[in-house]
A and B are shown apart, each in its own frame.
Chain A
Amino acid sequence: MKSVPGEEPVIRLGNEFTEVVVERVRTRNGARLRITVPSSGRQVMLCPLELEALTWQGHELFSALLRTPHGPEDEPGDEPRGAR
């Protein structure tokens, strides 16, 4: 995948708990949505079908994801932020 920085509009979205950067990333044959968390550097690239699948979800899904409130706890060498 490649993208030309600055070419796409960037949406910054935040509240008192976190801040994320959302942008469209063009690939050779299509596009994905990249969500980046500047404070952790983590990101996810979602394709249109994954995004559609999100619209089927209620907030229950996200409550379940937030059961580990600062990220995965089982990745070796990847201490969650805030656990220091």
Chain B
Amino acid sequence: MNFAGSQLAAVLADVRRGMIPAHIYGDPQIFALERMRLFARSWVFLAHESEIPDRGDYVVRRVLADSFIVARDESGAVRVMFNMCLHRGMQVCRAEMGNASHFRCPYHAWTYRNDGSLTGLPFHAEAYGGEDGFPREGQSLLPAPALGIHNGLIFISLDPGVPPLREYLGDFAFYLDFYTRQSPAGVELRGPQRWRVKANWKIGAENFAGDSYHTPHTHASVVDIGLFREPKASKRKEGALYVAGPGAGTTYKLPPGGDFAGQLRYVGYPEEMIPAMAASWSAGQRALIADSGFMVSAATLFPNLSLVHNWPQIDERGTVAPFISLRQWQPVSERETEVLSWFAVDAAAPGDFKRDSYKAYLMCFGSSGMFEQDDVENWVSITEMAAGSMARRLKLNSRMGLTAAGQPIKPPLATFAGPGVAYQGFGEFNQRHWLRQWSDHLEDPR
């Protein structure tokens, strides 16, 4: 890499003070560093257990260029295996999903059990001299260096020395439960829809982490047509922004005076789901809704998993239905991102609710969703602009919420029931939090 250490140090110093050198959103040298120092070390989301419910079910997912088979083996255990044949390196599983007890490589037919162990290879005796020449015992597709599962969310890290997943999630686990543990049954995922956008991956991750400021303008048409009553500027500026552990997110302020059940009814949850939420969430989690009066909306878990919870109106009668979506910003290059978008719903929810919630999701997000259409045009344009020469002379102002001296323009919320730090109103605290983690990774040469 011909990126001088002093250049990098200057870029990171600017990023840390909230003045972002614009070229980082379209710079191949930065992307090379992200590959080596960030994606080769972080916990990265791959799949949810509900995507592989039965023995032999598998999905194929990537961490950048590295393909992995995420399978439930014949003992019921979740396995994540590097999808490269031990012999000549062919990709063993090429379908995105399937069910198989054994995987047979397309090239020379080396065959593996769905726990990764090598069981057969053609002409073992003639070609290799049998067990003497090539003992099959102990041969296995390479396992992911580190594997962690939380609320059914399957993460891996390419760094075997990474701290355990639960330790990494830290205080963000509190917020993750709102999206992935609404009842003891957990969530089930549908999808993902998968498509590519000509945008740098960081832009979407930052947007979901905390950009409540774009909603009133970028998504104005969503309010105009009556799809969603909340994104008006007057509503968004009442919301709280929080940072917690490796994550950060936005919330909406709920109407005054509501109790726990009333607030969940307000965002469209049916009566029969509310007791499970009350039982599934801690006193602190219930208090965030009932006492602080905030409902989680978008969030990003560093580096590239985002979550969203919104409650649009899905018909002319004004029926409000909440939905949850998980999405991953999978970098392809510094100028292209593959988006994976899942619908998530409480596995124990009534069928009618699942249907309405799915409709709500499709109206807002996914390849046809209206929020999605609005957002991506901005992100593509930023990426194009960032790749030019002039972008090297521009530092983007990402200091919203700070005085010139670097102090918050108002104190953190004193009565916010969730862990971490929260501010009410507009600010770029969350994006700076995300970018600080990004800077810490890129700075570390090990």
Contact = CB atoms under 8 A, between A and B. Distances in A.
| Co-assembled chains A and B | yes
A69 B107 CA distance: 12
A4 interface: no
Contacts of A16: 93-95, 98, 100
Q: Which of A62, A64, A68 has the largest count of B CB atoms less than 10 A from its CB?
A: A68
A67 B111 CA distance: 8
Nearest to B125: A73
Contacts of B122: 68-70, 73, 80, 82-83
A59 B74 contact: yes
B119 interface: yes
Contacts of B155: none
B120 interface: yes
Chain B interface bracket (under 10, 10 to 19, 20 to 34, 35 or more): 20 to 34
Nearest to B107: A82
A37 interface: no
A66 B119 contact: yes
A57 B349 CA distance: 38
Contacts of A70: 104, 109, 122
A59 B117 CA distance: 13
Interface in B183-217: none
A66 B74 CA distance: 16
A56 interface: no
Contacts of B121: 69
B101 interface: yes
A15 B114 CA distance: 14
Contacts of A83: 122-123
Contact of A15 (B74, B98, B120, B124): B98
A75 B214 CA distance: 70
Interface in A31-84: 58-59, 62-64, 66-70, 73, 80, 82-83
B244 to A, nearest CB: 41
Given A66-B120, A69-B122, A80-B122, A15 B111 contact: no
A63 B108 CA distance: 17
A64 B101 CA distance: 12
B110 interface: yes
B104 A17 contact: yes
B102 interface: yes
Contact of A63 (B110, B113, B124): B113
A69 B111 contact: yes
B132 to A, nearest CB: 15
Nearest to B121: A69
A82 B122 CA distance: 10
Contacts of A82: 108-109, 122
Given A69-B120, A69-B121, A80-B122, A15 B109 contact: no
A80 B127 CA distance: 15
B101 A69 contact: no
Contact of A68 (B103, B113, B120): B120
A63 to B, nearest CB: 4
Contact of B124 (A59, A62, A67): A67
Interface of A: 15-18, 58-59, 62-64, 66-70, 73, 80, 82-83
Nearest 6 pairs of A and B residues by beta carbon: A16-B95, A67-B120, A69-B111, A69-B109, A63-B119, A15-B98
Given A59-B74, A69-B104, 13 more contacts: A16-B93, A16-B95, A16-B98, A16-B100, A17-B104, A59-B113, A62-B102, A66-B102, A66-B119, A68-B120, A69-B121, A82-B108, A82-B122
